[in-house]
A = this chain, B = another copy of it.
């Protein structure tokens, strides 16, 4: 990009306040991504000028030429992160720099413009201040923030977009599990493939999502709640639904436990919760009792471990649920039972991780990962 192009500049932000403020819904009526705050952030980009004047304005429809490349060639990417209110009413974001870094990587992969992460975060901070009343203050509740970038070029040629737009919308959300954890059943899926080497499965692109709905419906028709995505002749486990996957194995001889998740080899979404879990477990779990591994495990390894009583627990990880316990995996008419704590819907590490991360998100335990806005 030429140095004459304007960079993203939070100091130029203009704010137009809504004249028709919405009522905030009671916490118990919140549904993920269904209602939005009063305002949105919009920043246009142009190949000749760079990033144009950022605007916060009332939440409202986008007006776009039907030939805009976002409608035809999937020039689109997004992020998902949350803002939390701590006990003192301060607003906090959890590792938002990670989302910005990933958003830039996604943009570069599909030839959309990159940007200064800190500048965008400053402007998201301004949006949060303006829409502060929509950030729930109850534990478990938060404001889901959806930064999105789309190609807005009109015209049907398939090429690098010369116009793009970042927009950020925010939706107040409740806990993923309203009445405590509910463990899910997975269908190990080898009839559809989410991502492949040389593809874009590691980026948060719209292109990775629509193709996964049909396999999800197929799994649901057979009584499973999510796909467990397998890959290759080895039937390696890659991800679960739209989450990263973790399993815990126990060594038959030493009793030492191993936390396993797939390595970031270009096909695995670089989950921020995944990264947080690995960091926390490396830091806080006893090295005598635990090994933390970024390696593939195959569905056969999981089956064999379960048969021998060496599968301890399994869970998905992502921004929406943080951790999502797994109770069973169906695979070619076999059923792999995944242990849960007696009478509970989770395994011990799953619960431990959920607590650790919530304490950081809500500022109960201070850390570099929690950024206070204001």
A residues touching B (Cβ–Cβ < 8 Å)? 32-34, 36, 40, 59, 61-67, 70-76, 78, 108-111, 144, 146, 148, 150-151, 155-160, 167, 169, 171, 190-193, 196-200, 205-214, 217, 242
Contacts and interface: CB of A to CB of B under 8 A. Distances in A.
B62 A214 contact: no
B213 A158 contact: yes
Nearest to A241: B158
A160 B214 CA distance: 8
- Most interface-central of A75, A209, A211 (chain B CB within 10 A): A211
Nearest to A211: B200
A74 B167 contact: no
B109 A242 contact: no
Given A146-B156, A211-B199, A70 B71 contact: yes
A209 B71 contact: no
Copy number of this protein in the oligomer? 2
Contacts of A210: 73-76, 110-111, 151, 205, 207
Contacts of A110: 210-211, 213-214
Contact of A193 (B61, B167, B196, B217): B196
Contacts of A66: 40, 59, 61-62, 148, 167, 169
A61 B63 contact: yes
B242 A72 contact: no
B76 A71 contact: yes
Contacts of A70: 70-71
Contacts of A212: 158
12 contacts: A33-B157, A61-B63, A63-B63, A67-B146, A67-B171, A71-B150, A71-B206, A72-B146, A74-B76, A111-B217, A146-B156, A207-B210
A215 to B, nearest CB: 9
A40 B108 CA distance: 33
Nearest to A42: B66
